[in-house]
Structure 1
């Protein structure tokens, strides 16, 4: 059951937060996994939290293995936040055993998720929900609710931060819609290294293709490269994109294969997919990474015209 406070949907105890206990001190020590979750917690927690992220820029969460130091940090934290939906594939078993570990995507109704063909059990859904801002903003209330349970004295503070950040995300959602609308419909085809942008395509009206599957664990073969190159030639696609957390060699192979078939497709630039940019840069925040991606996609698909 959910509770609505000041226009925000907050997780109720039946949403799995009842196991959290007050820590009685600030700053609340929080450990996070991917760096855009780190940014989310910092936006809501503000001065009352001290956040340590395990995964920095360019790190692939599908493949990341927790070190002994990571495990120690997780157990010493007052609260742990992770994305969930098996994004952190090799850490899932550890995270799910920690009573103080909260999956932020548990705030999103399952009927709004994209089901994976052939997926079963916990692997049934595409985990890349942050590329639909209207879904990601639902995680804000869950973070605020969890922080309020471990730090009840800060509940009003967390609520105010969550409300302000939600409004910023609503403006971001409108910005993305307006920018993508500039691309002629027939040119709205987004091709990347792996299939991370399905939510983005569904929300903002692009056809999306990834060379690899939803997880970068999947292998890429020569046939995959040739088939994607043929699709690019047939559709006369101007640009395709690499990702900051995925080696570029497979996309470079696709470009070469398309050119061998007589069509010059360009590298449209680098997108942030499973990790945000370096800390201290605009792209190191969730909002900044999405704005960078949108500018790069629009420029690439319009042939450099911004």
Structure 2
């Protein structure tokens, strides 16, 4: 009897495994350029789609070099999602020759221009750094998924609505937290100028070493200029981003007498066990780090 029972259990398990595998294969696949876009898409898609990120957690997005496996993933996708605004400078070469639909997720966002560096005059691409802009990303994702898979439109509409409500609450939460910082101190000093949308939304001024991640990072000229700016403004705290080297900012911090407030996250989520495994946590974590850095915890 025990042998028969064992065979039955194994047969049932194999059947369930095959059924689950078949279901996964039936779902369409969406490939996003990097982890933050992929997480947003997963929140809207739920279990109705497979969502994959090309750039892995922790990697630098601007100068990413796609692998042959990345190219294969994209060629097999039913939809490609990317930020646009020149963020994924490798994407046009990557996408060339692929017969796969794409959606640009920054469509409808009011851009902030880069004011210096090799990309001066182009839009600052880090538009997702405020939950208010996140709402536009969600809507663009929702429309793209409904167009791809209209049979699941109710699912995508429902998930997008719930996600948007959470981000609206997040905006109120961040506004309350960040506006506790006194107006005269509300200057955000970072390595990359990736916080322009956040500083515009919550009435900060912005100081940084370089405008956007590129070949020239932490040059003596950049360091000297930021030291002078922070001394003139008496900025009490500095930060740097997770995907770049913080050595230059720590030099600035040491020479100005400011505190080093630690790491902020912009271009990448962490793996599940890390501090920012999803977009909502990233926004909340950064706000908490900024508030703590200004000694308001």
- TM-score, length basis structure 1: 0.83
Provide the residue aligned with 1:270 in structure 2.
263
In the alignment, is the contact (CA less than 8 A) between 2:33 and 2:54 conserved in 1?
Answer: yes
The offset of 1:200, in angstroms, is 0.5
CA deviation vs aligned residue, 1:26-71 (integer Å, no higher than 9, x gap): 4221111211111100000001011111223321111101111111
Q: Select 1:159's aligned residue among 135, 157, 173.
A: 157
In the alignment, is the contact (CA less than 8 A) between 1:244 and 1:271 conserved in 2?
Answer: yes
In the alignment, is the contact (CA less than 8 A) between 1:85 and 1:127 conserved in 2?
Answer: yes
The offset of 1:121, in angstroms, is 10
- CA gap 1:53/1:297 in 2 versus in 1, 3 angstroms: same
Which structure carries more relative contact order (alpha carbon 8 Å, separation 6+)? 1
- CA gap 1:127/1:223 in 2 versus in 1, 3 angstroms: same
- 77-86 or 177-186: bigger deviation: 77-86
Count of aligned residue pairs for this structure pair: 272
Distance 2:113 2:96 in 1: 21
Provide the residue aligned with 2:7 in structure 1.
none
The offset of 1:72, in angstroms, is 0.8
Provide the residue aligned with 1:68 in structure 2.
68
**Residue 300, structure 1, aligned to residue 283, structure 2:** no
Distance 2:50 2:273 in 1: 16
Provide the residue aligned with 2:234 in structure 1.
236
Provide the residue aligned with 1:46 in structure 2.
46
- CA gap 1:66/1:122 in 2 versus in 1, 3 angstroms: farther
Distance 2:218 2:262 in 1: 21
Distance 2:51 2:215 in 1: 28
Structure 2: stretches of 5+ with no match in the other structure: 1-24
Distance 1:266 1:293 in 2: 16
In the alignment, is the contact (CA less than 8 A) between 1:63 and 1:217 conserved in 2?
Answer: no
The offset of 1:215, in angstroms, is 3.2
Provide the residue aligned with 2:134 in structure 1.
136
Provide the residue aligned with 2:3 in structure 1.
none
Give the 3-state SS of the residue equivalent to 2:200 in structure 1: helix
CA deviation vs aligned residue, 1:64-100 (integer Å, no higher than 9, x gap): 0111111111001111111111111122332365442
Distance 1:205 1:216 in 2: 27
Structure 1: stretches of 5+ with no match in the other structure: 1-24, 259-263
Distance 2:274 2:97 in 1: 34
In the alignment, is the contact (CA less than 8 A) between 2:115 and 2:211 conserved in 1?
Answer: no
Distance 2:273 2:103 in 1: 25
Q: Select 1:207's aligned residue among 196, 205, 208.
A: 205
